[in-house]
Amino acid sequence: MGSLKVLTALPGIVLASCAPQGAAPSISAQGPTQRVAPVTVTSVADYGFGRVSPIVLSSGQSVGGLRVAPWPNSVAFGMVTTGLSAGMYRVRVHEVGRCDAPHFSTAGGPWSKGPIDLGPKVVGPEGRLYVTALLEGAKLRPTDAGGLPALLDSNGASILMYSESGESQSTLVACAVVVYP
């Protein structure tokens, strides 16, 4: 089984997470041995890969976007949200590509073929969250090379955001269907 890494901008690392005050990394087309170059992110379109999928609240209001792309032995994704309440959030991969409001139960359970949790993310008082992450040990589509589990199998996949209100308390806040291209 693979691992999920949310990495910071260090030499030799391709992806980063939670860049402060609107700065976020770009993903180099040169491959995983290249250095991350910071860029200013104003929307998920600035990540420059994949097709944008809206991140929606249970009310149906869009609060951002998600993009995914195939990466060697991994799936790369970036997300930008705005208008969230300040606090701690978790972002998790789920096994069905549906986000029917208000409870998002159609997204199914957590993805069972690999890592699912991007760990805690902090949304500051400005209500924004920028995440770029690499889901290692998975591939995006069944047709992609390698014997790894495919995120976009016949059921698809979704990304769910949970608000953390205590050690064991979490509330489902938002959902995005994983789409490509």
pLDDT digits (tens, 9 = 90+) for 116-175: 876 678 898 999 998 888 888 889 999 888 889 999 999 999 999 999 876 667 889 999
User: pLDDT-derived band of residue 96, with 50, 70 and 90 as boundaries?
Assistant: very high
Phi-psi map region of 44: left, alpha, beta (phi>0 left; psi -120 to 50 alpha): alpha
* Other Cβ atoms closer than 10 A to 114: 18
**Distance of alpha carbon 131 from alpha carbon 109, whole angstroms:** 22
Residues ≥6 apart with Cβ < 8 Å to 57:
63, 101, 173, 174
Q: 93, 159 in Cβ contact below 8 A?
A: yes
Interval 22-48 mean pLDDT = 41
User: pLDDT-derived band of residue 10, with 50, 70 and 90 as boundaries?
Assistant: very low
User: pLDDT-derived band of residue 48, with 50, 70 and 90 as boundaries?
Assistant: low
Q: Which two tokens stand for residue 114?
A: 């690999």
| Every domain of the chain and the residues it spans | 4-177
Interval 8-20 mean pLDDT = 30
Type of residue at 138: A
User: pLDDT-derived band of residue 1, with 50, 70 and 90 as boundaries?
Assistant: very low
Helix (H, G, I), strand (E, B) or coil at 146: coil
Which CATH code fits 4-177? 2.60.40.200
What pLDDT is attached to residue 180?
87
What pLDDT is attached to residue 108?
95
* Other Cβ atoms closer than 10 A to 11: 8
